[in-house]
Structure 1
């Protein structure tokens, strides 16, 4: 079944003024080739200030760009999620691995946000934070203005305790380890940029604890004290032991990049074993600590 299509909007920055429209899309949206972008001009899918654009048209500062993507068939994903807690101010849900939280790439309607809007159209709860598509487990949804404001503040000020469970390869690492490898953006041939371990990145802090050592893998628990994108995936890889099933991040914390971009792994790929297992924070209205445990971790980490 096709979705309804989507309009991607941009505004030209001063540094981008003078570029042709084709150069703009070719440079900043490298998920498509220049030939594919050129075909979209022929199909009148690209607009500048509301008018069909030509490929050679030069851009000026603050002009409005639109790419009208026609309807497409989205990949199948698990659309069911479990609601663990509901009150006037927030919800807690257990998200299955494979379900994207927000629209991106090939996902528009097969996302958690779209499902929430569809099931609760009159008062849609809003995700306070994200989980990667391949990550299962607990998410906080803000419902009331007070709930959204309080929980967003707690998240920003690192007052929410977040503990994950994961599976990594067996190794001689200690039972407990602190990882503070900085995380930032690096260049990527098809995505433009991607988050990875990099010396000039932002500070990041994770604490790993081994729960069980098996012959080939270890079950571990990771508490994160910062919320960098893909933090646990990058930190486990930086330690030398990427999450089992993670094709993207290599030992050292850099992404795998192949000569054939069509076969290079992407951040949204699934297959790794990571579960947002535990959350603790202050109730927005009652001002008391409250905590939750994921019900999905047993099957997610079954090895």
Structure 2
């Protein structure tokens, strides 16, 4: 559904679905309850300024009745952001694709506490491409290769590559070496069933269900402190690589989620998650040519010479 509002400062307008019936007399009343953490009067003033619009771009008022509009659009008010002091490096740009190295700590898209400090917004502003859209995503904590579509006309062809699992992805990770480390157990393929429940930040593993995630894991190097692994996921479940390594006793260094969820703390830029998207390989759906992209980043905790 096309937005009636243009991209502004690299950020697209937010679309909100509004119930067509319910206990709220107006759209504004619903939004006040929906966004209970915001000052109600400040939200009403946004209606008065014409900042909340219908599908045709027509401004709504604080008196617009519930049921008059099913969707509304508005720009998020910028949060007070902590700057992420790492830049996105553009590795490749053509008419259709932009491929970058995303640093640790930078989210792929705006969300929560981050708006301007997201790879998408930074790139839209830098490259002057308001239509730029990520074709896949990396967790905020994960660094490495990230691919964007530059044109809506060809976006679907590249999105299908990921949907059909036609993109070969390779990652690296560095984990603490367990006391009972057995290098002869690798390489191996690890499979399990992963599910994400609404409202929970971590995924769950169900050992009684058929596996829906698979990762090939091999060891690149190890020393008396850490193990450096190469990971080839054959599925794309949320937090898959982090969960699989943790299940093998190789929880990734500086992971606050697995194997144990730790209390949220401010980012420590000196201790990034040791997970890196290293390589993307696929047959281009437009040209038919093989394309290979490789990161220029490295994991700081990897054994020297690895």
Q: TM-score scaled to structure 1, two decimals?
A: 0.73
Q: Is 1:41 aligned to 2:40, yes or no?
A: yes
Moved more, 44-53 or 199-208: 44-53
Q: Matches of 1:207 and 1:91 in 2, distance apart? A: 28
Gaps of 5+ in 1: 27-36, 54-58
Alignment deviations for residues 183-224 of structure 1 (CA, whole Å, 9 cap, x no partner): 22235xxxx233413326981111111111211210001111
Aligned length: 271
Q: Matches of 1:98 and 1:90 in 2, distance apart? A: 23
* CA contact 1:79–1:115 (8 Å) conserved in 2: no
* CA contact 1:211–1:221 (8 Å) conserved in 2: yes
Change (3 A) 1:18 1:204: farther
2:171 to 132, 148, 164: 164
Q: Is 1:220 aligned to 2:265, yes or no?
A: no
1:113 to 104, 112, 120: 120
Paired position in structure 2 for 1:238: 247
Give matches, 1:1-303, under 5 Å.
9-12=15-18, 17=22, 25=34, 37=36, 40-41=39-40, 43-44=42-43, 50=60, 52=62, 70-122=77-129, 124-145=131-152, 147-171=154-178, 172-173=181-182, 174-186=185-197, 192-199=199-206, 203-250=212-259, 256=261, 263=264, 271-297=272-298, 299=300, 301=302
Gaps of 5+ in 2: 1-8, 55-59
Q: Secondary structure at the match of 2:293?
A: strand
* Cα-Cα RMSD: 3.8
- Going by fraction, where is strand more abundant, 1 or 2? 1
Q: Matches of 1:299 and 1:102 in 2, distance apart? A: 25
Q: Secondary structure at the match of 1:297?
A: coil
Q: Please state how far the C-alpha of 1:23 moved relative to its aligned partner.
A: 10
* CA contact 1:5–1:70 (8 Å) conserved in 2: no
Paired position in structure 2 for 1:33: none
Compare CA radii of gyration and give the structure with the larger one: 2
Q: Matches of 2:210 and 2:34 in 1, distance apart? A: 26
Q: Matches of 1:75 and 1:201 in 2, distance apart? A: 42
Change (3 A) 1:9 1:88: closer
Alignment deviations for residues 215-265 of structure 1 (CA, whole Å, 9 cap, x no partner): 1210001111111222211222233322110012226xxxx265xxxx479
* CA contact 2:13–2:76 (8 Å) conserved in 1: yes
Q: Secondary structure at the match of 2:124?
A: helix
Change (3 A) 1:51 1:141: same
* CA contact 2:174–2:301 (8 Å) conserved in 1: no
Q: TM-score scaled to structure 2, two decimals?
A: 0.72
Moved more, 152-161 or 197-206: 197-206
Q: Please state how far the C-alpha of 1:39 moved relative to its aligned partner.
A: 5.6
Q: Matches of 2:68 and 2:242 in 1, distance apart? A: 38
Q: Matches of 1:116 and 1:246 in 2, distance apart? A: 27
Q: Matches of 1:124 and 1:9 in 2, distance apart? A: 16
* CA contact 2:32–2:38 (8 Å) conserved in 1: no
* CA contact 1:79–1:110 (8 Å) conserved in 2: no
Q: Matches of 2:135 and 2:12 in 1, distance apart? A: 24
